[in-house]
Structure 1
Amino acid sequence: MKELPLTLDIIDRQILRELQRDGSLSISALADKLDMTAPPCWRRVQRLRDEGILDRRIWLVDPEKLGRGTIIYVTVKLANHDRAATTAFRAAIQKLDEVLECYILLGGIDALIKIRVPNVKDYERIFYDRLSQLPAVREFESSVVLSEVKQTTEIPV
């Protein structure tokens, strides 16, 4: 993991906070929010992009409005941990559109998967048709999210 450069000052941090909240801000709107002019604001944003701190612009989609309101977390234990098995598992996960996130873990659980589906019945179909077919898996445990207490994409800066 790349550490933040020591060159991040208070203005850079303000830029990062504002753009994480609203990536559609124009440079002039961002500059206005930071009480500065557009050219130096643009240079700072460009430098943050060049350094890879600002990665890309995206729009967040409301999953409820697209009928994907049910969140399922799945823990996975693999049958074995050799390179071929874990590589096959990773490759198969990449092909599953319903999987939003997947993390390989240390400890008793080998992987944690986050899935968004319309409902539990749909998850059941995905489980039997796709998840249960994943290579090298010994065991799954699924948990349905009852309520979302906090969800953010903003990294504290």
Structure 2
Amino acid sequence: MSQDAMELDDIDRHLIRALCEDATQSAGALGREMGLSQPATWRRIKRLKELGIFGPRRVDLDLEGLGFGVTVFLGIKLATKGRVSLEDFERAVRAIPEVQTVQHVLGLFDYRLRVVAQDLPDFERVLRRRIMTLPGVGNVEANVLLSEERRPGPI
């Protein structure tokens, strides 16, 4: 984090919270809510983007609405790290469309994946045909998501 990123004031923090709740809000509407002009609000948003506070814009999809009724978290332990490079595994796993996130972690497993599927038989197909055939996969532990109470948002 740069030195500038450490110098966030209350207005910056308010902007971050407001845009995390609804990123479609205009700079004019946000400014009116905070007592700032549209140009002043836009300059602050631009500065926050330049500081790297905001990443690329994305659409938050309703996975169930798209037919993905199952989310599974997989812990993956590579069989032999020396024989298969981490880059080879990461490149291969990123090519699987059902894998939503790939996290290299410290602990019992080497990687944690978030995988979506239409249903459990579809997940089993993805697991057997795509994930278990990845280079270096050793132990795999699956945890099926039952509910999600909070999604990532402002700190």
**Is TM > 0.5 for Structure 1 vs Structure 2?**
yes
Query: Could you say which residue in structure 2 is the equivalent of 1:34?
Result: 34
- TM-score, structure 1 length as denominator? 0.90
Question: Are 1:122 and 2:119 counterparts?
Answer: no
Alpha-carbon distance in structure 2 between the residues aligned to 1:127 and 1:149: 26
In 2, distance between residues paired with 1:21 and 1:144? 27
AA aligned to 1:128 is: R
1:12 and 1:44 in contact (8 A); partners too: yes
* Alignment correspondent of 1:25: 25
Superposed CA deviations along residues 103-148 of structure 1, whole A, max 9, x for unmatched, are: 1111221111111111101001111110111001111111212222
Question: AA paired with 1:77?
Answer: K
Q: Which residue of 1 aligns with 2:56?
A: 56
Amino acid at match of 1:137: V
Q: Deviations over 1:61-98 (max 9, x none)?
A: 11111111211111111111238421211111110111
Percent identity among equivalent residues? Answer: 31
How many aligned positions are there? 154
Question: How much has 1:36 moved relative to structure 2?
Answer: 1.8
Q: Is the 8 A contact 2:84 2:136 kept in 1?
A: no
TM superposition shift of 1:3: 5.8
Superposed structure 1 runs of 4+ greater than 4 Å apart = none
CA distance in 2, matches of 1:67, 1:3: 41
CA distance in 2, matches of 1:78, 1:50: 37
RMSD: 1.6
- Using the alignment, how far apart are the partners of 2:115 and 2:48 within structure 1? 32
- Gapped runs of 5+ residues in structure 1? none
Q: What displacement does 1:153 show?
A: 2.8
**Residue 153 of structure 2: aligned partner:** 154
76-85 vs 103-112, which moves further: 76-85
Q: For residue 130 of structure 1, what is the amino acid of its counterpart?
A: R
Q: 2:60 corresponds to which letter in structure 1?
A: L
